Chain A
Amino acid sequence: EAQVTQNPRYLITVTGKKLTVTCSQNMNHEYMSWYRQDPGLGLRQIYYSMNVEVTDKGDVPEGYKVSRKEKRNFPLILESPSPNQTSLYFCASSPGWGGGQPQHFGDGTRLSIL
């Protein structure tokens, strides 16, 4: 089954404790992206990747890191999480970027930073 898999689905942690949210897709997609969703602000892009070893900042990259060492994986790293990073996070992928490329989303990860 074609899917985007995020882990964990839920996490409660404390300020300053490094964490990684994994994202994996099995569709051989080139493009992957991370969004965060906050009430009243909608979904905002954090980082995206056009292909292996190619990543770039989105609208709200501060406090986050990503890597793209393999095509299927695009982890989101919070080196020193803070309470303002409490949010619902989504990973997405698509075959490429441009016209005719619908995006597929993971089920989301709820992060609570205390």
Chain B
Amino acid sequence: GIQVEQSPPDLILQEGANSTLRCNFSDSVNNLQWFHQNPWGQLINLFYIPSGTKQNGRLSATTVATERYSLLYISSSQTTDSGVYFCAVHAGNNRKLIWGLGTSLAVNP
């Protein structure tokens, strides 16, 4: 089945720094979503982005479907950005999202 790999697994930033998180997938996908899991465990839907580029405030995402990767860009990071960022895809006839293991981000003041 399709594999989803995220990098880096862990990231520590100083407040104000920029970062890029990567999601690679091993096959064609129909959907791709980025989520932020906050320290309380809630999953926040950041982007639905099977292809192209989207921006929402300090966050933006780009998916290059033909090359099988997606990037999540965080600019001017804040301590509230801390948590785990997940990429999840839907491929083929599977009736589920297939998840990467996440990037754990800590933003220090």
Find chain B residues with CB under 8 A from A104 CB. Answer: 45
State the interface size on chain A (CB cutoff 8 A). 26
Q: Which residue in chain B gives the minimum CB-CB distance to A49?
A: B95
B107 near A: Cβ within 8 Å?
no
Pick the contact of A101: B31, B99, B100 (CB < 8 A): B31
A42-B102, A98-B30 are contacts. A50–B41 as well, Cβ < 8 Å? no
Pick the contact of B96: A58, A88, A90, A99 (CB < 8 A): A58
Chain A positions near chain B (C-beta within 8 angstroms): 31, 33, 40, 42-43, 45, 48, 50, 56, 58-59, 88, 90, 92, 97-105, 107-108, 110
Known A31-B95, A43-B86, A97-B95; 11 more pairs at CB < 8 Å: A42-B99, A43-B88, A48-B96, A56-B95, A59-B96, A88-B41, A99-B31, A102-B33, A103-B33, A105-B35, A108-B43
